[in-house]
Amino acid sequence: MAKKKLSVEKKYMLYEIAVQSPDDLIDKFECMYKNENKRPARLLREDFCGTFQLSCEWAKRHPDNKVIALDLDPEPVEFGKKHNLSKLTEAEQENIELRLDDVRIPSTPHADISIACNFSFFIFKDREKLTEYFKAVYESLAEDGILILETIGGPNFINAPFTEERKCSLKNGLIKKKFTYYWEHRYFNPITHDGTYAIHFKYKDKKYEDVFVYDWRIWSIPEIKECMLDAGFKDCLIYWDETDEDGDFTGTFSVVDEAINDDTWISYAVGIKK
């Protein structure tokens, strides 16, 4: 039996509701840049930008904020044009440059911040390709620029098979009802650190399987730092989620040299160019 398929518009809208937090992330990235340079960043390069929600949030923050948004897949970019870019003012739209380009190609003008979120750089499966990507970003940054990578790990993240489900709240637009988001750990090879992960949705009492499937190498933080330094970065700082008195994550990230290996953690590896 053929799997049920969501429309292109609905699959990206469900994804954005379940996974994306543009306001919160841009707040974090602005703070990380100010921590290093004591001034606001103005030019953002968003790698693997997809529907470029983050780029749109960046453009809304200040009239001088500009964006270079890069992705090779035209499908999510077209969704983003229709549902995200269209909501901006004409001036904000003019400050976003969309490019269907490979992130391993250096770009100009030089950015203050380059970001790769949702573990997207895990698509590079060997050190040579990962370092090539970091070198391209290094060449694309201003002298005091930074690279921010959203990364993930912990024993539970490499546990397979495993499926987590989460109810998502009612939203506007095409999605009129609550839905369930499923995150599946399908496969993990401890020898190569290759992993297969998938997103499923249940919407209007129908389950849609394999809406998104990811074939990744799960890079460790030491490996990421080594490749960054090999690419020319002066340093790589690790921003880790702080915990409260009960040991629960707070959503506030600070630079650390040591951390507890929680079941699943998200952190930010920040490459410092200067």
| 147-165 residue pLDDT tens | 999 999 999 999 999 999 9
Whether 46 and 149 map to the same domain: the answer is: yes
Percent of the chain topping pLDDT 90: 90
Whether 44 and 114 map to the same domain: the answer is: yes
Whether 265 and 149 map to the same domain: the answer is: yes
Whether 77 and 205 map to the same domain: the answer is: no
- Give the C-alpha distances (Å, rounded to integers) separating 270 from 34, 97, 190, 229, 232: 13, 24, 26, 11, 13
Whether 136 and 175 map to the same domain: the answer is: no
pTM: 0.96
Whether 34 and 97 map to the same domain: the answer is: yes
pLDDT at 226 (0 to 100): 98
pLDDT at 52 (0 to 100): 98
Whether 135 and 196 map to the same domain: the answer is: no
> In this structure, is residue 48 part of a structural domain?
yes
Does residue 207 sit in helix, strand or coil?
strand
Beta bridge partners, 48, equal: none
Whether 200 and 91 map to the same domain: the answer is: no
pLDDT over 90 (residue 173): no
84-91 LR contacts (CB < 8 Å, sep 24+):
84/51, 84/52, 84/53, 84/56, 85/52, 85/56, 87/56, 88/56, 88/59, 88/60, 91/63
CA gap 45, 236 in Å, rounded: 18
What is the pLDDT of the chain when averaged over all its residues? 95
CA gap 131, 127 in Å, rounded: 6
DSSP sequence for 66-133? EEEEE-S-HHHHHHHHHHTGGGS-HHHHHTEEEE---TTS--SSPEEEEEE-TTGGGG--SHHHHHHH
pLDDT at 247 (0 to 100): 79
| 50-85 residue pLDDT tens | 999 999 999 999 999 999 999 999 999 999 999 999
How would residue 171 be classed by pLDDT, with cut points 50, 70 and 90?
low
pLDDT at 244 (0 to 100): 87
pLDDT over 70 (residue 215): yes
H-type alpha helices, the chain = 8-19, 22-37, 53-61, 74-83, 90-94, 127-140, 221-230
Of 187, 216, 245, the position where a domain reaches its end is: 216
> In this structure, is residue 43 part of a structural domain?
yes
Of 216, 243, 264, the position where a domain reaches its end is: 216
For the chain, the residue count is: 274
Contacts of 188 (CB under 8 A, 6+ apart): 158, 159, 160, 194, 195, 196, 218
How would residue 249 be classed by pLDDT, with cut points 50, 70 and 90?
confident
Whether 127 and 252 map to the same domain: the answer is: yes
Whether 113 and 33 map to the same domain: the answer is: yes
pLDDT over 80 (residue 172): no
Rounded to 5 degrees, φ, ψ at 266 are -120, 135
> In this structure, is residue 3 part of a structural domain?
no
Domain residue limits at 70: 9-153+219-272
Least confident of 96-110, 132-146, 166-180, 219-233: 166-180
Whether 166 and 260 map to the same domain: the answer is: no
| 15-54 residue pLDDT tens | 999 999 999 999 999 999 999 999 999 999 999 999 999 9
pLDDT over 60 (residue 1): no
> In this structure, is residue 207 part of a structural domain?
yes
CA gap 55, 116 in Å, rounded: 12
**Scanning the structure block, which residue is given the tokens 């839905």?**
179
| 85-101 residue pLDDT tens | 999 999 999 999 999 99
